[in-house]
Amino acid sequence: MSEENNLAEGADESLHDSTPVTGMYKDWFLDYASYVILERAVPAIEDGLKPVQRRILHAMKEMDDGRFNKVANIIGQSMQYHPHGDASIGDAIVNLGQKDLLIETQGNWGDVRTGDGAAAARYIEARLSKFALEVVFNPQTTDWQLSYDGRKREPITLPVKFPLLLAQGVEGIAVGLSTKILPHNFRELIEGSIEILKGNKTNVLPDFLTGGLADFSDYQEGLRGGKIKVRARIEEEDSKTLLIKEIPFGTTTDSLIDSILKANDKGKIKIKKVVDNTAKDVEIQIQLAPGVSPDVTIDALYAFTDCEVSISPNACVIIEDKPVFLTVNQILEYNTKKTKELLRRELEIRKGELLEKLLFSSLEKIFIENRIYRDIEECTTWEAVLAAIDRGLDPYKPDFYREITQEDLIRLTEIKIKRISKFDAFKADELMKRLQEELKEVNYNLKHLTEYAIAYYQNLLDKYGKGRERKTEIRAFDTIQAAVVAANNAKLYVNRVDGFVGYGLKKDEFICDCSDLDDIIAIRKDGKMVVSKIQEKLFMGKDILFVGVFRKNDERMTYNLIYLDGTSGRCMVKRFQVGGITRDKEYDLTKGTKGSKILYLTANPNGEAETVTVYLTQGAKARVKVFDFDFAEIEIKGRGAGGNILTKYPVRKIQFKMEGKSTLGGLNVYYDSSVGRLNTDQRGRLIGNFLGDDKILVCYKNGDYELTSFELTNRYESNDVLLIQKFDPQKIISAIYFDGATKTYFVKRFLIETTTVNKRFGFISDHKQSHLKLVTTDSQAQIMVTVIKGKEEEQMEYDLEMLIDVKGWKAIGNKLSAHPVKDIQLIESEKSKTEEQEESEEMDLDTEDQLEIGSTIDLTPKKEDDEQLGLF
């Protein structure tokens, strides 16, 4: 028993001495999290490098002899400083090399565009770039610490004199923390730093090696919560082929093609074939299915594939061993000030070196010219030698910038007899003069440090900025409605009697092709309307009169309706549009009284108003029992309006008699050049009021013209468009173009003779350097031409109508001038200005008329509607 008691007591004591697991977890987890944040994932703001990157660069500097080194050797050298495996170091080296800034590479280093990996470390080589050697290293301004095993010294941070963090970008995931700083343009960063030094504000935006297009409207300077959209550059080679020339940042050609194939398999887009022709440059060829619009397909690629990606930045850096969230402009400002401080320290160090050189040169000259070395010949002790030299220097000590130390005296004793015998006073004076001039320059730079820093940055720009122009084009993107551009990958069916709608009812009545993203609208005989998301089989109520695809915010679709009011027995007529709705909610299109039902219903995509014949019952007291009614006689109101009285007598039947025209008038179409798209939201420039078969004329810089429809899904490369307007076949096109073959400007006037839509026709010479200078449809347009006659410039004004007659669109035209042309300016005629103003006023009037007709929204029946007398 005593042994058992002793064991129990010992167990109790051990329990008291142990640490609870929860406490261990808390302490160790915090230590681990801090280590990952500070030592692995998040870069320091001073040099913009993670520890592994800093150690790699330090190891490469130690190995640097101007020649390439095997990456395997660099990994081995770096492992003296980095306490982790060779794989992580190798990946970090490849990542640095692919950024094409600090490391020059040799061999197969992979391709960020295709996702191909680098060859094995034993096969590829690297060395520090000239840029890295100039801006990253300086042992004199580096703060050092011992390596992890205490055998070596490594830099705490490198003295980088450039915003390296923003140039390279960085991404890291730590414990409970992450960072994502996007790469920025080399030249723009330097220009931004110069602006900061000048006291101006700056705003830098990311730039990606993969190019593409980017919308930075919500970038928020790289802070958490910001977002950018990046798109592939897609070109229309012809009506059946699209080419992807640049891909979004963060994607590869393989991942992009996979996303396109998946979207095609799901029916979101319709393509025939995808071919990857990527070699030196990215080129993914997309062959379209027959009858598919290239413009709609481009939008669908952006909506359903990785051709458009969203990136969320999160600028987090380490400052004084703590993670801090800053904007990219604040980081740039910090780096600029840090660079200025490093330049000041380098100047101070150089100043000290020059002063020391001047001091010793002066001591040496005095020591030799005044033969002070003779005074030490009879000295018997070392102390006596130093004292003799010190006495000889006494008369000159007030001229030195500091006191003469024992080390200085010792250096004088180390001068060799050979040097004393060959001492040249003139050369010594010349050397001191050069040192004094350099010291003067250093002192000047210290006093004008800002100007010196600006010159430093400008020198970097001049030396290394060539070929580093912006690759990603800054654009504003239009919002793509996925349901609008989705391919029709389903068919809509309806069972009207039982009330089922969907794409799975293949044995029932076919309605139309649709997409699985569409909403469906159904109107029943009892006067109820409901909008629901399309499904395989959906119950929407029995006795369905109308079912179709519902387009949100469609301001043209108009419903013509006649219904019987159950309470009064009157037949009511109304025209309405469906605006905002709530899905799966039933709306009453009648007055909602018991016994109400719909007698006649049509859906009109462009606000058409037909004529119907109304038949009254035989027992009706009306004298005329058959009459016609034209829906154009009533206004378009909201879906909740009670309507007008058609007749107070019983109706036997209503028959369609005659189609009518749209009562909405034309559609005002605007062109927004910032996104290269058409719209009806009054964004951009009004280009015309369109009806039916009206077309748009587009003239491009390369000398092509094209007739297009006014579909809002049309796309136009705004940078290539010189003229876009409503097409008038009677308007004469006047154009001036540069002919690349003869290096001469030609002028021509012609009428559009082709009728094919969405096909380009070239109306200038096909030389690769030929381009359209200006184009106009102004019948009285004039131009101001600046020509060079001898050594002088002369301006001449021409009337285009007088220069040349109207000829065919394939004609070459006439030479504009026999002299070299320096500049051509279009002078808009007064007639053109007047026509433009009148056209604008007409558009405004049409808009007011449409608003008067179509925007009256009544949610309750009007009293005057109820009191209005019937037709009979």
CA distances, 726 to each of 68, 195, 672, 678 (Å):
62, 45, 15, 12
CA–chain centroid gap for 785, Å, is 38
The DSSP string of 107-120 is: S---BTTTTBPPPP
Q: Is 123 a residue of the active site?
A: yes
Buried b (16+ CB within 10 A) or exposed e, 381-397: eeeebbebbbebbeeee
Q: Of the residues 25, 32, 35, 123, which is catalytic?
A: 123
Three-state DSSP at 383 gives helix
Distance CA 41, CA 63 (A): 26
What residue type is 728 in one-letter code? D
Report yes or no: 385 and 413 within 8 Å, Cβ to Cβ: yes
Closest CA to 126 of 162, 83, 95: 95
Task: Please name which of 315, 319, 415 lies closest in space to residue 363, comparing C-alpha atoms.
Answer: 415
Would you call 175 exposed, middle or buried from its count of C-beta atoms within 10 A (0-12, 13-18, 19+)? middle
Judged by DSSP in three states, 334 sits in: helix
Closest CA to 625 of 615, 633, 634, 635: 615
What is the secondary structure of 429-479 as a DSSP string?
A: HHHHHHHHHHHHHHHHHHHTHHHHHHHHHHHHHHHH-TT----SEE-PPPP
CA distance 85 to 88: 6
d(CA 846, CA 609): 18
Token duo for residue 519:
């909403």
DSSP 212-230: -EEE-TT-GGG-TT--EEE
Q: Where does 203-350 show beta strands of DSSP type E?
A: 213-215, 228-231, 233-238, 241-246, 271-276, 284-288, 308-311, 316-319, 322-325
Burial status of residue 76 (CB atoms within 10 A of its CB: 0-12, 13-18, 19 or more): middle
Helix or strand run (H / E) with residue 775: strand 771-776
Q: If 0-12 CB within 10 Å is exposed, 13-18 middle and 19+ buried, where does residue 254 land? A: middle
Residues 6+ apart with CB under 8 A from 864: none
Angle at 170 between CA 168 and CA 174, to 5 degrees: 165
Residue 632 sits at φ, ψ, to 5 deg, of: -65, -15
Which residues are designated catalytic?
123
